[in-house]
Amino acid sequence: MSSKYDQLDALVLNAITMVPKKFSEIYLGKTSEECRRLALLETGKEPFRVMDRRLQALRKAGKIKSTPKGWLRTE
């Protein structure tokens, strides 16, 4: 089943590597544009909150993890 977040998830996973990345390093370019597009669909939401929710969803799914230095891929 396809989700409206599939494109954003793919952009986030492409931005995150085995080197820790801070939120501000991930929330750039096409990723922030996609967050803005999704925020418009979810009336009253701020784009950076869309990004935060997807990071947490990907973390809970075991695809990424959070460290004090930033986000890392688990694969």
Q: Where are the domains of the chain?
A: 6-73
**pTM across the whole model:** 0.91
User: What percent of the chain stands above pLDDT 90?
Assistant: 88
Q: What radius of gyration, in Å, describes the C-alpha atoms of the chain?
A: 12
Taken in order 50, 70, 15, 56, the sign of the CA dihedral is negative
At the topology level of CATH, where does 6-73 sit? Arc Repressor Mutant, subunit A (1.10.10)
Give, for 60, the enclosing helix (H) or strand (E): helix 47-60
51-74 confidence digits (pLDDT tens) = 999 999 999 999 999 999 999 999
Query: Is the pLDDT reported for residue 50 higher than 80?
Result: yes
